[in-house]
Amino acid sequence: MTDAEIALSDDVAAADAAFLRRGLLEHNQPFLGESDHRQLVVMARVDGEPVGGLLAETGRGVLLVDMLWLAPGHRRQGLGSRLLLAAEAEARRRGCGMAWLDTYDFQARAFYERHGYEVFGELDGLANGRRRHFMKKRLDQPSGGGDP
């Protein structure tokens, strides 16, 4: 056993995060091929001011939607659909054939289902009895539509 010092922190140093990411990507390369991970952001603005957006990442043929959020006054107007569809279109241009995301039971499961996503896993027993849904979608199939 090595005499390594274990350090815990709430503050993640950029150099530490880069070290870990680089190490994991190098480990994965023989199994998955060269990494092509790229960040993706789709912003919605009104009069130049942000009202919402979508953060995601693409890599190795997969779109991972990290978060999609709209200010309350801009919901249920089709803007969420436009953000999601723009991200999916860009992911297709980047060679992605699959997308995945997660959403809590009080968030937007029905919205994503209308866009062709299906639940492939759930995590229950979360704070206040909540549940998290893990969802996926083939990007080579047509999407539904409609904001919640």
Low-confidence ranges of the chain (pLDDT < 70): 142-148
Stated as kind and residue range, the H or E segment containing 19 is helix 14-32
CA-to-CA separations, 110 to 76, 114, 116, in angstroms, rounded: 13, 6, 10
Instruction: Give the pLDDT confidence score for residue 147 in this predicted structure.
Output: 47
Q: How many residues does the chain have?
A: 148
CA–CA distance, 6 with 36 (Å, rounded to integer): 31
Number of Cβ atoms within 10 Å of the Cβ of 61: 15
pLDDT, tens digit (0-9, with 9 covering 90-100), for 54-95: 999 999 999 999 999 999 999 999 999 999 999 999 999 999
| pTM for this predicted structure | 0.86
Instruction: Give the pLDDT confidence score for residue 35 in this predicted structure.
Output: 87
Stated as kind and residue range, the H or E segment containing 67 is strand 62-70
